[in-house]
Amino acid sequence: MAKFMAPETALACLVEDEGATIKDRVRALRMLPHPPLLMLRRLLHRPRTDPKPLPSRLLAAAALAYAREVAYRKTHRAHAAPKQAPTGNALGI
């Protein structure tokens, strides 16, 4: 177990912290190189009846980060080497 948390974990915690300022939350979201999709989904799909709605600036930054991350993952999955189908025997005949 690590003694200190990773910088990405600290930034993700700051993005989800409701007590932090909007500017700090947006800056932390932009500093994350590859934000977790689960965190972005939680930010984007909050119920509208929440007592504290998500600020529009953070919502827009989360939507852009989600679109960028999905596009990044699609392109890198396409460039990955395709797996070969296993053959019926050990000799590969």
41-54 average pLDDT score: 85
Instruction: Name the H helices within the chain.
Output: 7-16, 22-31, 37-44, 56-79
Which of 19-23, 27-31, 55-59, 82-86 is least confident?
82-86
Residue 53: predicted pLDDT: 82
The residue to which tokens 């500093």 are assigned: 31
Return the closest-CA partner of residue 60 out of 30, 36, 17: 30
Provide the mean pLDDT of the chain.
87
Residue 36 in tokens:
């977790």
The answer to whether 10 and 34 are in contact (CB under 8 A) is: no
The answer on pLDDT for 90 being more than 80 is no
Angle at 68 between CA 64 and CA 74, to 5 degrees: 145
- % the chain with pLDDT above 90: 60
pLDDT grade for 9, boundaries at 50, 70 and 90: very high
Record the pTM: 0.76
